[in-house]
Structure 1
Amino acid sequence: MSAKGKLELQDHLQLWYFPPQPSLIYHQLPTSARFFAHPLLLWMPYRLWKVRFLCTDPACKHTLSSGGLHRRVRQVLDIDRFYNLVTETLICSKCRRSYLSWNREILEQLDMAHRSEFRVILTRRYACDIRVIRLLRERGLGNGPVRLIGQLKENHSEEWLKRVACYTRACAGFISKGCLLTPTFEEPPKPVALPSYKWLSVVYSQDILYRLEDIKASITSTYGSILKLDSTRKITKKLSGPAKGTAQWLTSVGNEMGQVLISVLTAGEGPGLDLMAGGLVDRYEAAGVDPPVALYVDCGCCKEVGETKLKARFSGWPNLIVRLDIWHFMRRLAVGCTTDAHQLYPTFMARMSACIFEWDAADLNKLREAKRAQLTGHGWTALTEKQLDRQITKEELELHCRRRTRGEEQTIQLLDQLISELISDKGKDALGVPLLDPIRMQHIWRVQKRHVKCIQDPPDVALYTQTGTIKKGGVELQTLRCARGSTSLESFHCHLNRFIPGNSANTLNFQIYLLDGLHRWNHNRAAAAVETETSGLRTYSGELVHSVNVDYERVFGKKLVPSFTPPAKYTGFNTKYYAHCPVFTSLNFFVIQNWLCNFR
């Protein structure tokens, strides 16, 4: 309070103001203000940090000056309570335009360290703390806005009841003292009603839109030397509104680490993918990255006469080797079984895999040596080779040993023998039910035999990458990751439904959920590509990590997260190649801008 009786701002302002806490012992009647007051976030970067802001009008670019506190106070939803938010008005003395310090065009002029202090997402009526939205970012079954609103109601209710209990306990002590006049107390304020789950979905979408450039830059900066191509129809059923029924397939391209380079929605798997393939070729050329050497697919791998449509689609990579995913090849042969519930079905699949693959002898011998030493340390002695092999698990084989295909001729010979053997009486179970349908199986094998050459490993291509080492029984074993096949994309498509909560989503929400889920998927796959994470930090904000690394290196001479590589700047790649599609992964910027204006 000034000498004239008016409120004035102090010289030494703070970012946060917290209300005084209730006293431990009350000698006078308690008031509810001490128990139910809210913290205050004073967002005045111009006054707090003396930051120089510029007018956003391109024709002006004049320095802004302070116009005092803004009249409106916002109430912000937090994890277990609300807090208040006030800001300042900034005025351009040249063009007379005014801004609020919490506007996006003002926040973007701050550096990352100061900008991150503003942790509020504003909409027209409500405001939400970013810590609430972070609980929605990890997509999973049941992790949706409805569940989160229920959890917030529980948190807010218990926090409010705890304060009511403290207040009424302090008041009850005065009633029991037997005063001449009965004391009267003001009732506690009513709890603030929480917004609906639909509003929480809007805030979550707005958070993704604010990080959109960083997300798209990260996705379009992902490359690989061994690619996988696969399509699914599961996710397209969630499209609602005007876009419902416009897309039938979602096609994804991944790399050897399981990361996804691009996902597109199309009306069909054929010509609709031509632009996607051309866009990937151009992306590699523009970035100066060597083209991939192999592409694993589930169909279209070869043709009896002439060039396949897939090779023509990727004509910009003439040396690209197209290979059929071996699991899909095995599933084609498994169609000849009478039922997959047959007693010999698991044996048939295991024997088929053994006909196609063989283990590397050197890796297998080293694993046997380590396993023998480990079992000897546990008291096992005089183990034969068969006893030792029974103790080696399938997981240990896949982790420490490489596999390679046997070659076209040997594979055909072994599969011929396996099918002939199981068509006979040896392929019947205890009740005499045959595993294979002879006529159907012979026809399938006659058709699929030409694809045996398509499942062979590409020559001179390293399909295994060492991710680390581990010691077993005193023997050091390498841990390996295989890049063969398209299993990683199958896993990605299984998780797609978790990226998009609920049973339906309109075009805008569908795309932003998919982009954020894909971005987090790629980050997790990159972290899983090595044996141990180089940093215990878990964050998906590339912009924040890059800012910390720059300042940390300037101060301490090294990076805090040395494994982080900042993505290249997003160049509008998807917009260029998919602007004509009814549904596309790159968002229409006019739609985004109009959408944001409606909720500011």
Structure 2
Amino acid sequence: MAALSHRTANEGSAAGPSAAAPPPAAPPAQQRASRPASISRAGSTRLGPSLAGSTRPGPNRVGPAVDAPHHPPLLVPGAQLLPKGWRKTLPEEQQEWLGRALFTCGTGKKPVLTGELHFWWSPPGARELYTQIPSAQAFFQCRFFLWAPYKIWAYKLSCPSCKRQLTGAGLYRTVRRVLDIDNFYFMGTEHLACRACKKKYAAWAQEILSQLDLAHQARFPAVLTKKLSCDKRVVGMMQPRTMGNSPSRLRAALVEQHTRKWLEKIMRYLSVLELLQVPGVPPQQVTVPPLRPVPNVPWLISVYVMEAFSRLEETKARMTKKLAGHAAGTAACVSNVGNEHGQVLMSVLSESEGDGLWPMAAGLVRRYRAAGKAPPRVLYVDRDCCSIVGRCTTAEMFGEWDQLVVRLDILHLMRRFARGVTTDSHLLYGVFMSRLSFAIFEWDGGDFTRLQEARQSRLDPTSRELARHCRRRTRGVEETERLIQELLDTMWDATDIMGVPLIDHPEMEEIWSTQRCHLQCIQDPPGVALYTKTGEVTRGGVVLPVYRCARGSTSLESFHLHLCQFIPGTSANDLHFQVYLLEGLVRWNEDRARAAVAGNARRSTARCYNARLLSSVNRLSKKFMGITLVENFTQPWEYTGELIGLEYLYSQTGGGALRIGSRA
């Protein structure tokens, strides 16, 4: 079974006063001779390696003058140099390189923090060339941020409790994992102590950050929560309050970017193994670090609220026309064709409907023929559903599909009746539309009885439960005509409590006389299954099937709303519009395909739309890991040459060609 639906819609700066420039450097011997007695070499504390420095940081010093000690080559693993709390928090692939980067081995193999500190630390990563099979750790390392304003800037900080000066007290016992755009990174900080009240503070505490000037505050990259942290760039992506920019949409984008980065690392690692594989020797089975899940939507919202608490929300941008420049005003309508899964098979802009859509229909027919797929059985439209003589215009456009049945979308028929109501805010409007739907549809008796048994309640099932677990069918032309006439006879003189009539009598009589002939066009075609079973649930000991309905063009109505959201801003030139449209179509169809998977298959947390990357990762993971890493992925076909979007419009208007490459 296949069903189609067709719809047409009209168109930091320099350091502050406490971090001034240092005097010219003196020779090494002079520096050692003139070092104040209060400066001590690095030692260790209970919480980890010490941040050695002056106990009285002044406003005119960039940082404590500490020479980086010279030690013999490292004799212990880098991970052993890290504080114990860090080793418990950091993943295995981070520990070795970070220990060697931040620490050296001092007297008695005690770890000593390096004297050349900076904020961002990048991992060595994987080498460009390997001659032996490598470990996966080097391919999955991420950067590290060390927040040490006292040590690096010698910033004068005060105790929040007693207002005395704070001094360094080594490293804070744990590190934080920070959500970034395409990965996570880790962040550590220094520990500050007050000698007067004996209290200690982490340097990333809000009462410490608030003491920094704006230029230095801007160097701190994240917004902290109780457990995780979020990079400010991610928070900034939630700030524009344009339509479609929701936290759920942001999370979906983050999941996609994280998945893409993770898959690229896997592909690079497994590709090295493939190059080093000895012919005739079975591939070595390996494992890789798992994909870390992106936090949920409520967490993202809470982070945004924390960051934006002191700011007023900017005026929301309004969506206006989507075409600007020389293409503005040339498109009269956009026409879309979808399948039974809600995917969009074609989307074109055209000057007019009718004859202007014949090339689009011919392209769809050729696509089905080339793919070897059976043609659709039924096509739902919002107009041109029938003809007095011969086949209707829509059926003629798809003339090669001689078994195609054209039906009018029932929602559009109901909307035509709604025009005969005085106002949709009338108290009886909902009752009228509900009874109109009852006149057209009836529920399957077996499905309804099964649902009532599962509910074990005298209350009627909700509309959502009915739509999920029960199938509907049309009543037939005679029964529908009789029920609609009875509904109109009952409602002709109906008024609300203020005496306002529900129905505009002359208007409704005209609508009923013209739409009576379309009752045949809304009936379900015989022999076509319009429902697909997608799963089962058990309630009250009764197994309830879960159905998805392919009747009508409701999914295309949702796509029309989506079309206004995935094209950002208030206007776009023709090239940008085309790129946005193509990207949006691909993502829309991939999301619909994921939702259309039948059964109780495990849904993957990964999200990626790059077909080349997915194909390569699946091939390598199946070879070296024995599994298909990304399920429910279908290899795309070759581009058929059909004109899409503005290309279709320009073929009608002679507006030239869009330079967007050879593949759509």
Measured after TM superposition, the shift of residue 352 of structure 1 is 0.3
1:536-572 alpha-carbon deviations (Å, 9 max, x no partner): 2322233333223323333455534453322223343
SS at match of 2:336: strand
Aligned to 2:603: 535
2:459 is the alignment partner of 1:338: no
2:474 is the alignment partner of 1:405: yes
Distance, in Å, in 2 between the alignment partners of 1:271 and 1:236 is: 28
2:373 is the alignment partner of 1:300: no
Q: Which deviates further from its counterpart, 570-579 or 273-282?
A: 570-579
1:84-121 alpha-carbon deviations (Å, 9 max, x no partner): xxxxxxxxxxxxxxxxxxxxxxxxxxxxxx9xx899xx
Mapping of residues 92-241 of structure 1, within 5 Å: 162-169=147-154, 237-241=321-325
1:194-237 alpha-carbon deviations (Å, 9 max, x no partner): 9999xxxxxx9xx99xx9xxxxxxxxxxxxxxxxxxxxxx9992
Distance, in Å, in 2 between the alignment partners of 1:560 and 1:503 is: 40
Aligned to 2:563: 496
Structure (1/2) with the larger helix percentage: 1
Measured after TM superposition, the shift of residue 173 of structure 1 is 5.9
Structure 1 residues 441 and 41, CA, compared in 2 at 3 Å: closer, same or farther? farther
Measured after TM superposition, the shift of residue 455 of structure 1 is 0.5
Distance, in Å, in 2 between the alignment partners of 1:299 and 1:38 is: 63
Distance, in Å, in 1 between the alignment partners of 2:381 and 2:328 is: 28
Measured after TM superposition, the shift of residue 524 of structure 1 is 1.5
Give, as a single letter, the amino acid of the residue that structure 2 aligns with 1:327: L
For normalisation by structure 2, the TM-score amounts to 0.55
Q: Match for 2:432 among 348, 351, 354?
A: 348
1:116-154 alpha-carbon deviations (Å, 9 max, x no partner): x899xxxxxxxxx9x9xxxxxxxxxxxxxxxxxxxxxxx
Bigger Rg over Cα: 2
Aligned to 1:21: 102
2:117 is the alignment partner of 1:34: yes
**Could you tell me whether the CA contact under 8 Å between 2:340 and 2:550 is conserved in 1?**
yes
Structure 1 residues 475 and 272, CA, compared in 2 at 3 Å: closer, same or farther? same
Q: Match for 2:536 among 461, 464, 469?
A: 469
Percent sequence identity is 43
Structure 1 residue ranges without an equivalent (≥5): 1-13, 51-113, 120-128, 132-155, 177-186, 198-203, 212-233, 376-387, 594-600
SS at match of 2:528: coil
Aligned to 1:66: none
Measured after TM superposition, the shift of residue 353 of structure 1 is 0.4
**Could you tell me whether the CA contact under 8 Å between 2:349 and 2:649 is conserved in 1?**
no
Q: Match for 1:280 among 341, 364, 373?
A: 364
**Could you tell me whether the CA contact under 8 Å between 2:622 and 2:629 is conserved in 1?**
yes
**Could you tell me whether the CA contact under 8 Å between 1:466 and 1:480 is conserved in 2?**
yes
Distance, in Å, in 2 between the alignment partners of 1:264 and 1:294 is: 21
Q: Match for 2:590 among 513, 523, 541?
A: 523
Give, as a single letter, the amino acid of the residue that structure 2 aligns with 1:285: R
Aligned residues: 421
Mapping of residues 252-271 of structure 1, within 5 Å: 252-271=336-355
**Could you tell me whether the CA contact under 8 Å between 2:351 and 2:652 is conserved in 1?**
no
**Could you tell me whether the CA contact under 8 Å between 2:327 and 2:574 is conserved in 1?**
yes
Give, as a single letter, the amino acid of the residue that structure 2 aligns with 1:364: F
Q: Match for 1:245 among 306, 312, 329?
A: 329
Measured after TM superposition, the shift of residue 574 of structure 1 is 3.3
Distance, in Å, in 2 between the alignment partners of 1:578 and 1:412 is: 44
2:396 is the alignment partner of 1:312: yes
**Could you tell me whether the CA contact under 8 Å between 1:243 and 1:582 is conserved in 2?**
no
Give, as a single letter, the amino acid of the residue that structure 1 aligns with 2:604: G
Structure 1 residues 37 and 448, CA, compared in 2 at 3 Å: closer, same or farther? closer
Structure 1 residues 576 and 358, CA, compared in 2 at 3 Å: closer, same or farther? closer
For normalisation by structure 1, the TM-score amounts to 0.60
Give, as a single letter, the amino acid of the residue that structure 2 aligns with 1:397: L
Aligned to 1:559: 628
Q: Match for 1:321 among 405, 410, 418?
A: 405
Distance, in Å, in 2 between the alignment partners of 1:545 and 1:333 is: 48
Q: C-alpha root-mean-square deviation of aligned residues, in Å? A: 4.7
1:464-491 alpha-carbon deviations (Å, 9 max, x no partner): 0000000010100100011011111101
Structure 2 residue ranges without an equivalent (≥5): 1-92, 157-165, 169-192, 194-214, 222-231, 238-252, 261-317
Aligned to 1:449: 516
Distance, in Å, in 2 between the alignment partners of 1:581 and 1:118 is: 47
Measured after TM superposition, the shift of residue 369 of structure 1 is 1.2
SS at match of 1:358: strand
Aligned to 1:224: none
Distance, in Å, in 1 between the alignment partners of 2:329 and 2:131 is: 52
1:366-425 alpha-carbon deviations (Å, 9 max, x no partner): 1111112xx4xxxxxxxxxxxx2x34111111111110000011111111111111113x
